Structures are given as C-alpha cells and as structure tokens.
Amino acid sequence: MRSNPLDVIAAIGLAIGGAFGLAGTFVASAELRETLWTIDGVALVVATALLTMKYSGWAMTASLPDS
C-alpha cells in the first residue's frame, strides 16, 4: 500500500512540533525558546489542518488517487 503524501507531511509536522516544543522547554535563552516554539506551533497547526481536511473529506482534491 502506498502512503499518501499528505499523511507523510502531517506525520512529519507532528514529529517536528513535538521535538521543537520539547526542545524549547529546555533552552535557557528566551530568544531561542521563542523561535523553537514558533516553529513548533506552525508545524502543529499545519499537521492538524491536514488531518482535519483528510478526516472531514475536504482533502479529496489535494490527494492522489488510490491505485
């Protein structure tokens, strides 16, 4: 079975969000923490939006046909 590119992007976004959010918790610099948490937030929002589109049926035009 071939994986859907949108599913891969969503999984990567969730992984990036988790890793950068956790990393932001442990840094001492406020500027670096802000940067890491910004990347974390964007990645989680993109992943959540893709998964919402998939499970609500809106991603039908953006996904590849199953073969």
- Summarised one tens digit per residue, pLDDT across range 9-62 is 999 999 999 999 999 999 999 999 999 999 999 999 999 998 888 887 765 555
Q: Torsion over CA of 27, 29, 35 and 41, rounded to 10 degrees?
A: 50
Opening angle at CA 56, ends 50 and 58, nearest 5? 65
Predicted local distance difference test score (pLDDT) of residue 55: 80
13 burial via Cβ count (<10 Å: 0-12, 13-18, 19+): buried
Query: How far is it, in rounded angstroms, from Cα 62 to Cα 53?
Result: 9
Q: Give which of 64, 48, 65 is closest to 11, Cα–Cα.
A: 48
The reported pTM is 0.77
Question: If you average pLDDT over every residue of the chain, what do you get?
Answer: 86
